[in-house]
């Protein structure tokens, strides 16, 4: 295997963010006094959240703004008299404790950590992502964590990957690979930075983007064989 630095996206690559997000949102609403959620509340929150993350990646909003604004917009759309800052605080605390591993995450990290260095590259809040990694049980296999909040730039910005590269012990573009589920952030970022990439395409989607992955897998246990 030529690769010695394995840069993993976190959410929906190693950790099942879809599952964690749903659990945390339900918990947040229950704490705020809603045992039964209005129809469409969670799906609208998801749509607003995704749009705000796209804005973050374009440098249009900050992480701190996003954390609260997604709840403010959701509550406004449903005419709910709830405090978005309180909701954000409850949600983030819950998210750190609602960690669900994607099948094969522990094994692939353990195997690749024995071959080289495993780093995390994530567009997320530094404190929360570190707590989630600690809760996941993957911490022993991970050498460093690079976040958009720590970098000041988000994937696919080349400056984010330059920031992550400085955290690696030895760094060579020829020996590095990015592994992630998002074509527009992980794979496009790898293309722009000039390193290999592996698209974790769990849902077996068609690639209609301009991003070109070096490898493609549908399950994490396919990564080591395909790189070997």
- Those residues whose C-beta lies under 8 Å from the C-beta of residue 123, and which sit 6 or more positions away, are 53, 56, 57, 147, 148, 154, 155, 185
| pTM of the predicted model as reported, rounded to 2 decimal places | 0.87
Sign of CA dihedral 94, 10, 203, 70: positive
CATH, residue 164? 3.40.50.1000
Which pair of tokens denotes residue 83? 């405090």
Answer with the one of 61, 95, 129 that is the final residue of a domain.
Answer: 95
Is residue 22 very low, low, confident or very high in pLDDT (cuts 50, 70, 90)? very high
Identify the helix (H) or strand (E) that includes residue 177: strand 176-180
Predicted pLDDT of residue 52: 96
Residue 28: CB atoms within 10 Å = 23
Is pLDDT of 83 > 90? Answer: yes
Q: Are residues 140 and 68 in the same domain?
A: no
More confident residue, 29 or 63: 29
Domain span at residue 32?
Answer: 17-95
Predicted pLDDT of residue 124: 82
Q: Are residues 36 and 122 in the same domain?
A: no
Of the candidates 6, 10, 4, 5, the one whose C-alpha atom is nearest the C-alpha of residue 185 is 10
Q: Are residues 91 and 131 in the same domain?
A: no
Rounded Cα distance between 64 and 99, Å, is: 22
Q: Are residues 50 and 10 in the same domain?
A: no
Number of domains the chain is built from: 2
Q: Are residues 174 and 74 in the same domain?
A: no
CATH, residue 42? 1.10.150.240
Q: Are residues 124 and 177 in the same domain?
A: yes
Count of H-run helices and E-run strands, the chain:
10, 6
Q: Are residues 144 and 218 in the same domain?
A: yes
């Amino acid at each position: 295997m030529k690769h010695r630095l394995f840069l993993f996206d976190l959410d929906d690559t190693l950790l099942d963010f879809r599952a964690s997000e749903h659990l945390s949102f339900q918990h947040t609403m229950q704490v705020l006094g809603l045992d039964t959620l209005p129809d469409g509340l969670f799906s609208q929150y998801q749509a607003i959240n995704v749009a705000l993350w796209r804005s973050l990646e374009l440098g249009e909003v900050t992480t701190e703004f996003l954390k609260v604004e997604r709840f403010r917009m959701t509550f406004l759309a449903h005419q709910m008299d709830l405090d978005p800052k309180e909701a954000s605080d409850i949600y983030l605390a819950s998210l750190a404790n609602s960690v669900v591993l994607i099948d094969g995450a522990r094994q692939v990290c353990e195997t690749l950590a024995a071959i080289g260095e495993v780093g995390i590259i994530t567009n997320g809040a530094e404190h929360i992502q570190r707590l989630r990694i600690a809760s996941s049980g993957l911490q022993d296999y991970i050498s460093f964590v690079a976040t958009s909040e720590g970098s000041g730039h988000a994937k696919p910005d080349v400056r984010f990957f330059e920031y992550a590269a400085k955290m690696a012990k030895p760094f060579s573009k020829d020996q590095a690979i990015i592994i992630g589920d998002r074509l527009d952030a992980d794979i496009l970022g790898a293309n722009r930075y000039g390193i290999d990439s592996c698209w974790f395409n769990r849902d077996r989607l068609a690639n209609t983007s301009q991003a070109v992955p070096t490898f493609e897998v549908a399950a994490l246990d396919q990564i080591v064989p395909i790189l070997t």
